[in-house]
Amino acid sequence: MGRPDEEEDATLDKTSVVQSETFKVRLAQAGQAPPCFVLLVGPASAVGRQWPIEDTDRILGRAATAHISVDDRSVSKSHCKIILSGGDVSIMDLESTNKTVVNGRVLTPLVPVKLANNDQVKAGNVIFKFLERGNIETVSAGMTYEKAHTDALTGIANRGGLNSRGVEAFRRAELLGVPFSIITFDIDHFKQVNDTFGHPAGDFVLKEICKVIRERLIRENDFFARSGGEEFCLVLLGSGLNQAHEIGERIRHTIEVHRFEFEGKVIPITISVGVATKQTGDGSWDQVFERADKALYVSKRAGRNRVNVGT
């Protein structure tokens, strides 16, 4: 039997090996990471978000079509241009209203300035940090942002991720002139599931619903998030009311007939669904979400396990 200090040394050795291997993986990931911009100050739902610079002539601005698009009124629609050449990244102000500033220096319009690692770029009231190619911070920042916007239990987006993507999809729908719809749904009598079968069974149901919907029911461009405890939301860019209603009904029916079996016990599960589409006069995605949410509660009051359309 070894001495306590020997056992402690062995434990420390094992720990250092694990940390070293993890660090090596991150270094390998960093080596493949392109240069990027990270949002430091700006819309709360987007702080920490990264935009990789993998091509030249990328526009940073308020327009939904901008490669780096930030919804802040202090930012011009086409505020500045990011230029990638021979591995170097430069920035050029596009005669913006509120100027482009790098490390406190106001840029002369239409004159490119080369960026260095960790430079701070201010566009209007929004501030970014520039990270050069292969910076390990790119990996760490990306992991932090993803973790903050991901639901730990189900692996889909959380409410923070939904808020960020909802704003972005709404703006894009307005710009492109395409429909924008939202589906919300709630698991019927979910408290009874937890009370009857236990909380591990409830967690299983939440994860299984997400698995079924992701694998069988949503398209590549649809966005799926857990908006609350047993509440979920789909953002459908390009889908009108009829199509959104069909998708909502398909989800409702699939969940109703799916076999939820946990530790040998079958758990009957149904959902109540609300659907809404962007209307003329809607100024934000929240208005569409609120109509879908109200429609969901109409479904619940009407007996549950049904789809209702918000007007």
What is the identity of the amino acid at 29? Q
Report how far Cα 238 is from the mean position of its chain's Cα atoms.
Answer: 18
pLDDT at site 142:
53
DSSP assignment of 75-143, as one string? S-TT-EEEEEETTEEEEEE-S-SS-EEETTEEPPTT--EE--TT-EEEETTEEEEEE-TT-HHHHHHHH
Read off the pLDDT of residues 221-239 as tens digits, 9 standing for 90 and up: 899 999 999 999 999 999 9
pLDDT of residue 43: 86
What pLDDT is attached to residue 47?
A: 84
Q: How far is residue 83's CA from residue 57's CA, in Å, rounded to a whole number? A: 5
Residues comprising the chain, all counted: 311
- List the chain pLDDT tens, one digit each, 311 residues: 444 444 444 443 433 334 444 434 343 444 457 899 999 898 877 888 889 898 999 999 998 889 999 989 999 999 999 999 988 999 999 999 999 999 999 999 999 999 999 999 999 999 999 998 866 555 565 566 677 778 989 999 999 889 888 988 998 898 788 999 999 999 999 999 999 999 999 999 999 999 999 888 888 789 999 999 999 999 999 999 999 999 999 999 999 999 999 999 999 999 999 999 999 999 999 999 999 999 999 999 999 999 999 98
- Region at 175 (left for phi over 0; alpha for psi -120 to 50; beta for the rest): alpha
CA 193 to chain centre: 29
* Residue spans of alpha helices (H) in the chain: 4-31, 136-148, 159-176, 190-197, 199-216, 241-257, 285-301
Residues forming the active site: 230
